[in-house]
Each structure stands twice: as C-alpha cells, then as structure tokens.
C-alpha cells in the first residue's frame, strides 16, 4: 500500500513494488526504469486495462509497460490510430465531410463518414497517400478530458452533429476524452500511440467502401464506411492480402457455379437448389455419415418438420427462439380457432417425443437417436452467405439419452467418432473448447460439477491441449465446441457436444432405474458436421473444388480424340460404372484440349483420352487433375486402380 494519498504503489510483472507520486503517467514510469524502455514504450497495462502513456495513475495498481513486441496491444493501437489518421486524411482532402465513429475490428478498422459524393476506388488511393504523409509528419498525439458542455459547444461550432449526439449519449460521470493527432481532433476513449510516426506506413491498406446506417438504424442517415486492414510489418500485410486472394479463388459460391453444383434465387432466399452433381456430393456425405453412425451404435429416426406450437411452448423454444422460427396457421376442420404450427428449427424436442414413447429402462441406456433432420431458421437477408449461412438446412443431428454416470464414456466415444470423420474428410487435427457453467443456469452445482468433470476427463483421454471458456456454457449444461482449420488457416466451428439437464425435465422424459423408480435421463446434444450444407461449403473451399476421389461428383470422364473411338469410349464407361465409379463419356466433336480444359474447370479428378491408337491397343491415356503429364494404361488395369482410389475411407 502507498504510504499516503500523495503517492501510489505500482507492482511490476516481476513482483517488485515502487512508489510514485499520485498522477504519475505510464510514460514517466517507463522513463524512470530505463531510457531505452521510455523510447520503446507505446502503452501500459494498468490493473489489466489498456492504458494510454499519457493517462495519470491515481491509485495503487499492477502495471506492465507495452512495446511493439507485445502483439495484442500494439495491433490495437496501430489500428486505432490508423482509424483517426484516415478520418483526418478524409477531412483534409474533403473538408465538408462529417465524421462519426471509427472502431477497431478484427485485422483492422472502419470509419463512417457523411459525405454527399460517393467514395471511389481512386479516392481510396488518394486517402492512403495522404495517410502516409500524416504518418511521415510524426505529429504528436495528445489528449484531454473535457466537461460535457464544452465538448458539445466545440462540435456544434465545428458543424459535427454526429459527434454532438455521441457526446450527449455518454453516461453522466464518464469522462469525455478528446484526442488530437497533430491539429486534427476526435472524440475517443483511447488509448493511442504517442505520435503518428509510430504507425508502420507500409503495413496497412484501405480495402473497400460500404453503406452503413447511422447507429444501425434504417431510419437514420446512410453513411459511407471505409474499411482498412493493418499489421505490424509489410510482410504480414502481404501475407494477409495473399490469404484473401486465395480465399477468393476458393469461394464455394464461385466454384459452385463453375462446377454446376447448386444455386440460389430470390424466390426462396437462403434455400439451396441442388443440381445433380452437387446432390451427388450431398448423398455421398450422407451415406458416409450413415455408415459411421450405424457402426457407432446409433439408431436412425425421422421426425416431422411441422409441429404444433404446444410442443415448442413446452420445450421453451416458443419464448426463446420464436423470432427465428417459420410459423404456419391452418384452419383445421371443425376447429374453433386456427391451429398454429412451426417448421422445426431444431430436432431435439421431437427426439424427446420418440424417447417418451413406451417405457424405457436403465438397461436401454445409453440410447443414441440420430436424424438427418431438415430444419428451417429465419436468418436476416444480409446475413445469408451461400452454403455457409442458409435458412433451410439438414443437420447430422443426434441425441444420446443416458445416465449421469455414462456422460464421460459417451463423450469419449463421440470424440473418437468425430476424429474419424474429420480425418476422413481431410481435417486431421482440430481444436476443442470447453464452455463451463454460466451465471444464469438450471440444475444444482453438484450436477454441473459432475458434467464438467466428465467432459474434461473425456477430453484428456484424447488430448490435453484444449481451451476453457468460463461461463459460456448453455443454460442447461456445459458444452464442447470443435474447430477445424482449413488449408489456408481459417477456423470453422462445426462439431458440438452439449450436456442437457433441462429439456428432459421440461418434456417429462424418464426411465425406470435399477431401484424400480423413475429417473430423469441426461440428454446429450451432438453434431459432427453441423449441417450438410455448411460442411460441404467448407469442403469445397478447403479443397479448392478438387474434392477427394470418393466425394467427386464426376470421378472419371472418358473423352474421345476422334469419333472412331466413340464405341470404345462407351465400353470404357460401362466398365468403370460396373466397378462402381461415377463415369461419363464426352463424345462431342471438339478438340481434346478443349474437352480437357472444360472438365478440368469442372474439377473432374481423372480424364481418360481415347483415340484410334487406344482403340487398337485397348488402352487409355490418363490425365489427372492438376497434372500436365499423361500416362498410358490398359483399360482393365485403370478400371481396377480407379475403383480402389474411389473407395470411401470407411471402406478402405
């Protein structure tokens, strides 16, 4: 503790404690430690809060000085300062522009502007150039705290109505903090760097302009939002831009069009129109999952898509989830009022109905009920994104009804099954997040203790590098989330495993225990793919459309070089199909290079070219996707070899 109120005790990361005058700034603290640290310092952590070097410290605290070597605070400051520098650049170029807000977001920032003329791509280049001038000027960054009335008068005099509104919205008692970057001023919570020259001038880029309503309200003015990205080094920026290029090449929406897999249209927003080749991928994935589930002891069921609101009220979904549900009203014959139904947004309440049919004994547990359940959820139109975010989808859903003592074994079994599926589909590793009890929850602490311990023990049986997310469990139980990393480093959350003590109670599920009494089962919600639609989108992007042989919708095309080989091509296709391969003949009167190019764009894994020589020798010329070299092989030999290559991984 400080000796008196005129001093403060600061505790450093190494545990040492030093006394400083009250009101000392982190910049002064850094200077007292060493000249080199004072030069390198960019901000501080004070009691875990990101603290500007200029802000005074008025009470005892733990402190750590940040430098550019500390990635998280450094990137936050770089991106935050760039938001201000960009706004300054815009107003220097177009002084009539009104400024609003400019927060830091993942990998960068945005700033919203009110300007009559739309920004153009050429404008973005001009703004970038002006930003680099400001950075090169190394203008000091300073800050003051003003009272509310002074700040409002300041922005009224400057003609900045959006800033006036922001100041008025700051709660009483909170500081109204003002920042200057050179002579340009903005309202901001901070922190910021000490001068504009600390921002790397070659590690940022302005990306795009988009429309955004002021404060997200469609009744308020439409503003122009400029997005930027920034990193600590030029190489990091270059790597990120390359990542974006690669992601664009792999975009499943573009590949879906090129490969003729699916489409969307306004008459059914968020609903997928599957084409033959796309539906082939879907069926292959579903058949594969069905075999995996059968082998793991699941029993497949099918439940209605349209269910009376009474069930959704009993389950709690009507109160908690109705805005995302599609509601239907039907005039039932002889009914006094319309019957209200809903398209199911999830399968769990219906699965409890199957469990509740007939008397269940403890000997029946665990009971694993699986369904490829067709669900519908209303998503805002702007949130829809190809196969990744849809309104109609099919889950690889299952619910396990078990005793509390069986949770650990069922969790371990699920992780083993999930590992096989992910490995087979090209994701040999994944991350696990354990989300524990939230503040608002149902069930006793003893039950939560048991469930969390069971999930943790099951994870440790497989691996020990998992992440705990405290307080982020569902209100009915803890959960595990499983994240995949694709070929270009993106993370996708697909699988989930959730322990539910609530729904069996609400829907009166029970079993007869060894003691002859009724007991509540635990309900384990679990999915591996999440939804077929989204997982297929992930697969398309991960493989850049070049799907593994067993999943490719068209596995082999036999293309003729001359029409004299048509009959032989048909014979080759018949042999391939007899061996279980998805094969077709291309007998068109086109040059072979044209055919190869077209089928390569369609991501066909193998093209077999046949001409008169191949007819005479009963061979084929083999060209594989992505390879320029060709090879000759006997027809019988290649049919046998390709049939083996196309075998699904669970049958290999």
Residues marked active site are found at: 348, 377, 395, 397, 399, 479, 525
Distance CA 522, CA 520 (A): 7
Residue by residue, DSSP assigns 217-239 as -TTSPEEEEEEEEE-SSHHHHHH
Q: Which residues pair with 7 in a beta bridge?
A: 21
- Asked if residue 209 lies in contact with residue 177, where contact means CB atoms within 8 angstroms, the answer is no
- Asked if residue 534 lies in contact with residue 285, where contact means CB atoms within 8 angstroms, the answer is no
Task: Write down how long the chain is.
Answer: 652
Q: DSSP H helical segments within 276-385, as ranges?
A: 276-295, 309-315, 317-321, 348-356
Q: How many angstroms separate the Cα of 329 from the Cα of each of 148, 149, 169, 379, 608? A: 53, 55, 43, 20, 56
Burial class, 72, CB count within 10 angstroms (exposed 0-12 / middle 13-18 / buried 19+): exposed
Cβ within 8 Å of residue 505, ≥6 positions away: 442, 520
- Asked if residue 176 lies in contact with residue 148, where contact means CB atoms within 8 angstroms, the answer is yes
Distance CA 563, CA 615 (A): 11
Smallest CA-to-CA distance from 523 within 443, 438, 428 is with: 443
User: Three-class SS of residue 196?
Assistant: helix
- Sign, CA dihedral 607-610-614-615, equals positive
Distance CA 42, CA 57 (A): 16
């Amino acid at each position: 503790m400080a000796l008196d109120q005129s001093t403060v005790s600061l505790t450093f990361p190494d545990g040492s404690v030093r006394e400083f005058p009250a009101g000392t700034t982190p910049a002064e603290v850094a200077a007292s430690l060493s000249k080199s640290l004072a030069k390198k310092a960019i901000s501080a952590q004070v009691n875990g809060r990101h603290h500007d070097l200029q802000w005074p410290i008025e009470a005892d605290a733990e402190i750590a000085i940040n430098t550019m070597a500390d990635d998280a605070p450094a990137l936050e400051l770089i991106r935050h300062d760039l938001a201000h520098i960009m706004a300054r650049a815009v107003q220097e170029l177009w002084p009539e522009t009104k400024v609003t807000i400019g927060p830091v977001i993942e990998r960068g920032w945005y700033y919203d502007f009110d300007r009559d003329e739309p920004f153009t791509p050429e404008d973005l280049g001009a703004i970038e150039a002006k930003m680099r001038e400001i950075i090169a000027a190394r203008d000091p960054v300073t800050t003051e705290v003003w009272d509310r009335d002074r700040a409002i008068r300041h922005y009224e005099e400057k003609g900045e109505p959006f800033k006036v509104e922001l100041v008025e919205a700051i709660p009483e008692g909170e500081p109204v903090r003002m920042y200057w970057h050179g002579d340009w001023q903005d309202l901001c919570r901070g922190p910021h760097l000490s001068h504009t020259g600390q921002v790397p001038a070659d590690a940022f880029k302005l990306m795009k302009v988009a429309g955004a309503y002021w404060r997200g309200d469609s009744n308020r003015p439409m503003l122009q939002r400029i997005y930027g990205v920034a990193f600590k080094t030029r190489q990091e920026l270059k790597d990120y831009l390359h990542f974006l290029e690669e992601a664009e090449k792999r975009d499943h929406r573009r590949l879906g069009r090129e490969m003729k897999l699916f489409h969307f249209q306004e008459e059914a927003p968020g609903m997928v129109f599957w084409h033959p080749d796309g539906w082939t991928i879907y069926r292959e994935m579903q058949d594969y999952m069905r075999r995996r589930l059968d082998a793991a002891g699941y029993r497949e069921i099918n439940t209605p898509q349209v269910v009376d609101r009474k069930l959704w009220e009993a389950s709690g979904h009507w109160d908690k989830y109705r805005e995302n549900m599609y509601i239907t009203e039907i005039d039932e014959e002889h009914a006094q009022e319309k019957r209200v139904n809903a398209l199911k947004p999830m399968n769990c309440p219906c699965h409890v109905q199957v469990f509740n049919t007939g008397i269940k004994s403890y000997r029946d547990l665990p009971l694993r009920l699986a369904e490829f359940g067709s669900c519908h959820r209303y998503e805002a139109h702007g949130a829809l994104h190809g196969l990744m975010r849809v309104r109609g989808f099919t889950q690889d859903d299952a619910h396990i009804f078990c005793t509390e003592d069986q949770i650990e074994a069922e969790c371990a079994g699920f992780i083993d099954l999930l590992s096989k599926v992910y490995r087979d589909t090209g994701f040999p590793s994944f991350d696990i997040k354990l989300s524990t009890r939230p503040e608002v929850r149902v069930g006793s602490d003893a039950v939560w203790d048991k469930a969390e311990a069971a999930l943790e023990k099951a994870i440790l049986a497989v691996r020990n590098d998992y992440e705990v997310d405290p307080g982020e469990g569902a209100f009915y139980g803890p959960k595990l989330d499983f994240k995949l990393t694709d070929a270009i480093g993106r993370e996708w959350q697909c699988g989930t495993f959730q322990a539910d003590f609530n729904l069996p109670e609400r829907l009166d599920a029970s079993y007869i225990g060894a003691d002859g009494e009724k007991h509540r089962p635990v309900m384990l919600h679990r999915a591996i793919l999440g939804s077929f639609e989204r997982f297929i989108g992930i697969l398309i992007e991960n493989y850049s459309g070049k799907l593994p042989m067993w999943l490719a919708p068209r596995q082999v095309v036999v293309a003729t070089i001359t029409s004299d080989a048509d009959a032989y091509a048909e014979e080759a296709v018949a042999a391939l199909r007899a061996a279980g391969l998805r094969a077709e003949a291309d007998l068109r009167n086109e040059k072979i290079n044209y055919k190869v190019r077209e089928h390569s764009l369609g991501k066909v894994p193998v093209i077999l070219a046949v001409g008169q020589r191949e007819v005479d020798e009963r061979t084929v010329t083999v060209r594989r996707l992505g390879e320029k070299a060709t090879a000759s092989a006997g027809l019988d030999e290649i049919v046998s070899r390709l049939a083996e290559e196309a075998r699904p991984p669970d049958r290999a």
